A and B are shown apart, each in its own frame.
Chain A
Amino acid sequence: MSESSGRNIEDLHLKSLTKKFGEVAAVDDLTLTIPAGSFFALLGASGCGKTTTLRMVAGLEDPTSGNIVIGDKDITHLRAFQRPVNTVFQSYALFPHLDIFENVAFGLRRRKVKDVDQKVNAMLELVELGPMARRKPSQLSGGQQQRVAVARALINEPDVLLLDEPLGALDLKLRRQMQIELKRIQVEVGTTFVHVTHDQEEAMTMADTVAVMNAGRIEQMGHPADIYELPQTVFVANFLGQSNLFAGSRTGQSGEVIMVDSHGMKFSVLSSRNSARSDEIIVGIRPEKIVVRDLVDRDNVPSGHNILEGRVTDVSYTGVSTQYVVETSWGQDVTVFEQNVIVGDRCEVGDQVILHWSPEHTFGLAGGETLLHKTAQVLAAGV
């Protein structure tokens, strides 16, 4: 694939892209730039519009309005077979009547490209399927079929490679392996990959940029670590990893620090880490950022930390970490992950404990109690 390095890869722009099925907008006014050569993940629960977005880019679905542009070329009204875009389908969609070699050669033959043999062999080498060239798809394992699907799309050197839940049908171990494999191939060929998935771990391990989609819109987009550390909506905070969220209201500010009252507790949120515009603020903290201590350790809490008291209702030891569920005085469950580095006794069910965490890890989100309940319901139904 040496010739691909000299190729001019260009950005993919979606401009006010909208797709309506009847009255329902599956994709709602989506504007997005996917940088050339990036590994981009569209992450969302089923029915959030991520697959519809992908199908519109592939040309398998017509947008109701909006444009799809690669570089400065508008491809919105090109037919699927005229677009410089290829897809790895969820079910692979390998041609059962053709062998592996002919499956991979399919796109080249349609475009009357020269040196088909050499290119197909090189591509089969890349996905480590050289000896399988004359087998039929049905004679291959799921992981091998998956690699054929990647090879069949990638050999055409598309400007953008679309992957529609490509690892969904594989078992956990194979999925891990293929995540690394796909990432390796992407780095090697340098093509823009747009990866649709509902698996947040998969999105975070593979992608440079993750866009979290919900109800046809993008909730938040950025580097996986940035989104994780500083989620900007309740949906993102819950969908990407777990969060403990406390609805409250702003009581004051001193310098950088905003004070929030929730259920009578005082929390500090840094103004740089607060995305709420009004006085209604949801205070959030990731479970692994919380320190859990015996009540007697209250004096050792670093000053400025947010503090919460509660009673341990569940302890589960998972090897790497211990997960606690702590019930607050107003009955909310708080999840805490603690790395198993402590020597000696751990907290037990029934213990009164003190939880504390740094404002540096705390984030503020827009919304109140009702939004928390609504999002919880959506997530419970959708995932």
Chain B
Amino acid sequence: MVALLPSTGVKPQVSPQKRSRTGYFLLLPGMTWLAIFFAIPFVTLFLTSLQAPVAGKSGQYVPAFQVSNYPDALIEYWPQFLKSFIYAGIATALALLIAYPLAYFIAFKAGRWRALMLVLVIAPSFASFLLRTYAWKTILADEGFITSFFNALHLLPDDRILNTSIAVIAGLTYNFLPFMILPLYAALEKVDPRLIEASNDLYASAFTTFRKVTWPLSLPGVVAGTLLTFIPATGDYINAELLGSTQDRMIGNVIQTNFIEFRDYPTASALSFVLMAVILVLVFTYIRRAGTEDLV
């Protein structure tokens, strides 16, 4: 850099105006992309959600301002809404329970195996999401090893796993696990081992050190991981579709059926909008409550 500057040490004169214009130019590609693939669909979706049906012609709608689409959709589908949040919530909690010790191990104990273990975490993503979920169909099948094992212990209420809510939650947990592990690993890896030594030096046992130092410092990773798991899990429909029964349908399945099968575009759009709004509210409250903004 030094060599590029004039030898007199005078910096090239750039007017503030010109500099700010460069900034906007840099924004242009991203903004265009956002406009085409987010803003326009977003507005279209919103307009669709207010459309009114054409009497007698199924699947045909006219632009309108039918706000009642929203309460109608909610009244009909609130159980699936609730179920989505419960399933996603349980899957997120399970993923956190599984991912935290694993991320901790990779960050602090894996030594030279660290890179390999990280690759193994990501490796399943090389196969398609759909394919992996199909594989779970086989793993959890009625005559499969896992089901027989739990049946032998009489632990299953319906004597099966596939086509129950257990299978859906297991699928969600499995599929979004890497999104939990990676941010957790990134946060834990940043924790200075000297802070752990300092805590030991200040009369904190290993467990207290975890509770008072490691865990609080890993909170940004916990927040990022739970969000990256919870948000896509709430809207997911493949796991419920392939692993669950009709009783286990989530809001994603409802939206999908309304769009593709019933061709009830306004209801599907209204549901999408409500889902987005609820998630946004939840996420904001969660981040506010977690209070991780000022963490390093």
Contact = CB atoms under 8 A, between A and B. Distances in A.
Interface of A: 58-60, 79-82, 85-87, 89, 91, 93-97, 106-107, 110-111, 136, 138, 152-153, 156
Contacts of B296: 96-97, 138
B194 A97 contact: no
Contacts of A79: 200, 205
A106 B202 CA distance: 7
A223 B183 CA distance: 54
A87 B195 CA distance: 12
Interface string B198-223: 11111111001000110011000000
9 contacts: A58-B201, A59-B200, A81-B202, A81-B203, A87-B201, A89-B198, A93-B194, A95-B195, A97-B295
Nearest to B292: A97
Given A89-B197, A91-B194, A97 B203 contact: no
Contacts of B203: 81-82, 107, 110-111, 156
Residue among B200, B202, B212 with most chain A CB within 10 A: B202
B294 A136 contact: yes
B192 interface: yes
A58 B203 CA distance: 11
A81 B205 contact: yes
A368 B225 CA distance: 66
Nearest to A113: B203
A138 to B, nearest CB: 7
Contact of A110 (B194, B197, B208, B294): B208
Interface string B121-138: 000000000000000000
A93 B200 contact: no
Top 9 A-B pairs, shortest CB-CB distance: A93-B198, A107-B202, A110-B203, A80-B200, A93-B194, A97-B216, A96-B296, A87-B201, A81-B203
Contacts of B205: 79, 81
Contacts of B202: 81, 86, 106-107, 110, 152-153, 156
A156 B203 CA distance: 9
A138 B295 CA distance: 11
Interface string B263-290: 0000000000000000000000000000
A94 B197 CA distance: 11
A272 B202 CA distance: 47
Given A93-B192, A97-B295, A81 B200 contact: yes
Contacts of A93: 192, 194-195, 197-198
A96 B198 CA distance: 12
A97 B296 CA distance: 8
Nearest to B216: A97
A106 B199 contact: yes
Interface in B22-55: none
